Amino acid sequence: MTTAPMTILFQGDSITDAGRDRTVSAPNDPGAVGKGYALLAMGRLLSAHPAQSLAVYNRGISGDCVPDLKARWQKDCIELAPDLLSILIGVNDIWHTLEGRYDGTVMEYETGYRALLQQTRAALPHTRILIGEPFVLRCGAVTADWFPEFEERRAVAAQLAREVGATFIPFQAVFDRALTDGSAPERWAADGVHPTPAGHQLMADAWLSAAASWLPAQG
């Protein structure tokens, strides 16, 4: 017996975008979902819940910071009215600042992200929200200049998840645990930011674990 439809939306920057085809808007399309953790999570969801009418969308856009999400939030989130919304944003908010392409502060990240979440709660009061922790590995583009500010931004994401009653996905801890076997950080994210296939698998596993209580029973 088919249960009620459920819409799942992945939002964020290039880590979520993962090379998706933005000309395709249909749900559950592999090209439209990209080649990263969203695709891996979608595959598991669709195989584990064959009786559930699931519609999985990815609206991550490479290069996005919090203000970019705000500019497109009505169309790319509110109008899709997801039952489950997953957001991962923050790495560009510091990376672009360090490269001189953006001047957003930690405070602006916090106030902008909070406003986005408040807008979502007001428009979609029944939507369940997952907030992914921004993460980096210390290799490639990630230098000492990222710290301690990056930890401050990670803390902001955790605090905002508590404020709005969202489920927090501790991606940084997931990658930190992966490094305890002595593997090089490049194994998981070659440039320190964008996951390898192995890194995306770690993210998908963590995402599915965090979302499990909000998903229908397998069947």
- Residues 29, 68, 76, 191: which is the catalytic one? 191
- Residues 13, 14, 17, 64: which is the catalytic one? 14
The rounded distance, in Å, linking the Cα atoms of 5 and 53 is 5
Of 12, 162, 4, nearest to 86 by C-alpha is 12
The rounded distance, in Å, linking the Cα atoms of 156 and 2 is 39
The rounded distance, in Å, linking the Cα atoms of 41 and 12 is 15
Residue 176 annotated as catalytic:
no
- Residues 86, 93, 194, 200: which is the catalytic one? 194
Residue 62 annotated as catalytic:
no
Give the amino acid at 105.
Answer: T
Residue 14 annotated as catalytic:
yes
C-alpha angle 106-173-43 in degrees, rounded to nearest 5: 105
Contacts of 137 (CB under 8 A, 6+ apart): 175, 179, 185, 186, 188, 189, 192, 193
The rounded distance, in Å, linking the Cα atoms of 215 and 21 is 26
Active-site residues: which are they? 14, 191, 194
